Amino acid sequence: MKVIPIFLKVDQKPVLVIGHGQMAEAKVNLLSSMEAKVKWLTLGAKITAPYGDNVEIIEQKYAKKHLHNIICMFIATDDAKLIETVLVAAQARGIIYNFVDMPEISQFITPAVVKRDDIIIAISTSGKAPVLARNIRLKINQMLPQNIGKLAEFTYNFRPVAQKMMFESKKLFRFWNDVFSDKNLNLLLNKTDAEKHEHLINMIKQQQASSGQIVEINLTSRLADDLTLKAHRNINIADVIIYGDDMEEIMGFARRDAKRIHLTSELNVETLVASHLADGDLVVYLKPIHSFTVPIKITKDQHSHIGL
């Protein structure tokens, strides 16, 4: 099953859940937590547990009228005849639908979710192994700080300050990458809002004073799995990448808008790099150990090496 991950806005939007029992309750609870206007059609079952004001419990059998004015729906029942009836009616009305535990006939699937305020991580196995997706969710839950969503909100509110102080888009991009690097992320998570603000202001001043930089990555393999985390990060944020033959897998980690320069013996690498450094670019030079490479003479403060 080929799917594309899309986040659907459901806050204050009408969503229908059909069915009763544990699976239906799970969908109602999920949608309620996302502040959707949930219409819960229980197919006649009585619901005694309390739910919030955004959950309308309809203890009735299914009728076409229940499909009026909804953006999507979830069906949690094993009644084959009802499933067929609802499917046909939904298709006729252009309503997207999910049949719980039946990905093969669903128009969308719901992934396992990790949520930290406005940070939402979705994990899916395209319906092949839901338990595996839940186990991955547990692992991410354990490693993701509880207050990281609050940090995302703080940095969002700080964006106008950063944009006002830093006009160059390249430096602004690099600034935000530095903010969310492991080193700064861990520091910021443990600071007060006032301390966060001061820390970010100091980072902007450092970024404004910085010039272009070249990072040489000494490769021992053309496999992406053999890259260090630091090498991965530099490739991912580079403005310019100089690369050799058979590096397609590694180049897959480059930014889409990064300039790619294929290394040849005729290429005047030193002049080319000097030009990009003058423009304030971050240049990554991928150097296969056992193939032709071009030495680059650059000032020490602009130069760094990464080995594997």
Instruction: Kindly state the average pLDDT of the residues 269-286.
Output: 82
**Phi, psi (5° rounding) for residue 29?**
-65, -40
Most confident of the ranges 86-90, 123-127, 170-174, 208-212 = 86-90
Q: Poorest-confidence range of 21-30, 77-86, 267-276?
A: 267-276
Residue 117 has pLDDT above 60, yes or no: yes
Q: What is the spatial distance between Cα 185 and Cα 223, in angstroms, rounded to a whole number?
A: 28
* pTM score above 0.85: no
Question: How far from 77 is each of 33, 96, 100, 102, 268, CA to CA, in Å?
Answer: 22, 17, 8, 10, 67
Residue 139, pLDDT score:
94
pLDDT at residue 152, rounded to an integer: 95
H/E segment holding residue 195: helix 193-209
